[in-house]
Each structure stands twice: as C-alpha cells, then as structure tokens.
C-alpha cells in the first residue's frame, strides 16, 4: 500500500504535539518517505503506547524507576548538545522508548495517587459531616 502524497491527520499533528523538529537526518524513512516524527519522538510515542497495555497487564514500576527511565534520553540529548558527540537514530529510538514509557507510567502513577488521596480526603470530610 503506497503512502499518501498529502500529509494526513497524523503527519500534520504528531510533530506539533511532540514538538518535533522532523529533521531528515534524524528521522526514519519507509518506502522512501520520511516518517512524521524524528527517531527520538517515534520512540517516545512507541513508549507511551507500550506503557498502556503493560500497566494494565503487569502494573507500573515504582515512581523512582519510572523517573530513572527518563535519564538516558536526557543524558543522550545533553551530551549531544554540549559535546561533538552525535547520537545515532537507533540510540535515539531506544532512549525515546524508555522516556515515553517512563513518562506515561509517571503520569498514570501520579493520577492514581491524586485520585486515591482525593478519595481519602473526601471520605474523611464525609465522616466529619462536612459534606
């Protein structure tokens, strides 16, 4: 199936949502066409999409481990920005997957934490007759 000539919804909005620079030298190509996201942003999207079924099936790792998953991308990006080191697209993809998974997991864990704290607070208020 050939890729469409005109950019569609995802090609137009994914780079905006991710703040992606879409540089051709840092992007993957499929059938001669550049994907709408660079390698790092593609990895982040894959990690985010992977975190949802992983969390449903196995639960999320602790928050400190999720935070640690953010570090490889930050280290690779800063090292690349501050030195002559040039990362590779496979490394960008891998660090993006780790970052996306960690970010989505932290979001899910923090959402759960806020919900549980709010429920406990509401129950405490209801027990005192405040509601």
Give per-residue pLDDT as tens, 35-54: 889 999 999 999 999 999 99
Q: Identify any residues that bridge with 29 across adjacent strands, giving them in sequence order.
A: 34
Residue 6 in domain: no
Return the pLDDT at 130: 55
Residue 98 in domain: yes
Residue 126 in domain: no
Q: What's the predicted TM-score (pTM) here? A: 0.83
CA distances from 115 to 48, 112, 119 (A): 21, 5, 6
What's the total number of domains in the chain? 1
Residue 74 in domain: yes
Question: Residues 74-114: pLDDT tens digits?
Answer: 999 899 999 999 999 999 999 999 999 999 999 999 999 99
CA distances from 21 to 27, 73, 82 (A): 10, 16, 18
Residue 131 in domain: no
CA-wise closest residue to 94 among 36, 47, 54: 47
What token pair was written down for 107? 């979001």
Expressed as residue numbers, the domain containing 99 is: 11-118
The answer on pLDDT for 1 being more than 50 is no
Percent of the chain surpassing pLDDT 90: 60
H/E segment holding residue 59: none
Cα–Cα distance between 109 and 113 in angstroms, integer? 6
């Amino acid at each position: 199936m050939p890729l469409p000539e005109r950019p569609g919804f995802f090609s137009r909005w994914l780079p905006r949502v991710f703040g992606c620079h879409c540089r051709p030298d840092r992007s993957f190509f499929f059938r001669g066409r550049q994907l709408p996201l660079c390698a790092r942003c593609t990895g982040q999207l894959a990690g985010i999409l992977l975190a949802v079924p992983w969390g449903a099936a196995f639960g999320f790792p602790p928050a400190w481990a999720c935070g640690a998953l953010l570090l490889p991308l930050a280290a690779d990006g800063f090292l690349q920005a501050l030195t002559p080191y040039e990362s590779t697209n496979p490394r960008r993809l891998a660090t993006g997957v780790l970052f996306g998974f960690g970010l989505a997991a932290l979001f899910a864990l923090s959402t759960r934490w806020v919900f549980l704290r709010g429920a406990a607070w509401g129950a405490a208020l209801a027990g005192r007759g405040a509601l």
